[in-house]
């Protein structure tokens, strides 16, 4: 959704509602077209780091105040712990893609290695 992301000024949660603050009418229209998909995705899969958050509704509105995303300070940076141990089979025929996935697997294994 790169086209939609450029319309998002910021988001916040209030009274169990996730609000998207958008900067243009086109973003609001695109949001309205995608709202059910967003809700289904959140209900289908909630990362363990977000389980304590209760979101019952999602809404969006347009702000006409000047400013960009960069001017808004981030209140909380969400960091996620790597859940993969790197123990997975790579069955990719394309050698370039296989090499890339192997390098990612190696990084995951190195980061999750227990110090001895």
- pTM of this prediction? 0.49
Residue 82 CA to residue 108 CA, distance in Å, equals 8
Domain extent, residue 104, equals 81-116
Work out the pLDDT band at 116, boundaries 50, 70, 90. very low
Residue 8 CA to residue 20 CA, distance in Å, equals 7
Residue 74 domain-assigned (yes or no): no
26 three-class SS: helix
Nearest to 60 by CA among 30, 28, 82, 85: 28
Residue 20 domain-assigned (yes or no): yes
CB count within 10 Å of CB 48 equals 9
Residue 7 domain-assigned (yes or no): yes
Residue 76 domain-assigned (yes or no): no
Domains: count for the chain? 2
Same domain, 36 and 60: yes
Same domain, 6 and 61: yes
Higher-pLDDT residue of 51, 12: 12
Same domain, 56 and 89: no
Same domain, 20 and 59: yes
For residue range 66-84, what is the model confidence (pLDDT) as tens digits? 655 555 555 666 677 777 8
Same domain, 47 and 88: no
């Amino acid at each position: 959704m790169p086209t939609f992301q450029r319309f998002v000024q910021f988001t916040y949660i209030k009274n169990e509602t996730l609000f998207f603050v958008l900067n243009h009418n086109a973003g609001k229209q695109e949001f309205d077209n995608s709202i059910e998909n967003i809700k289904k995705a959140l209900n289908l899969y909630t990362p363990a780091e977000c389980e304590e958050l209760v979101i019952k509704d999602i809404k969006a509105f347009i702000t006409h105040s000047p400013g960009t995303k960069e001017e808004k300070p981030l209140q909380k940076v969400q960091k996620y712990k790597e859940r993969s141990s790197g123990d997975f089979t790579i069955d990719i025929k394309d050698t370039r893609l296989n090499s890339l996935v192997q390098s990612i697997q190696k990084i995951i294994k190195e980061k999750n290695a227990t110090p001895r």
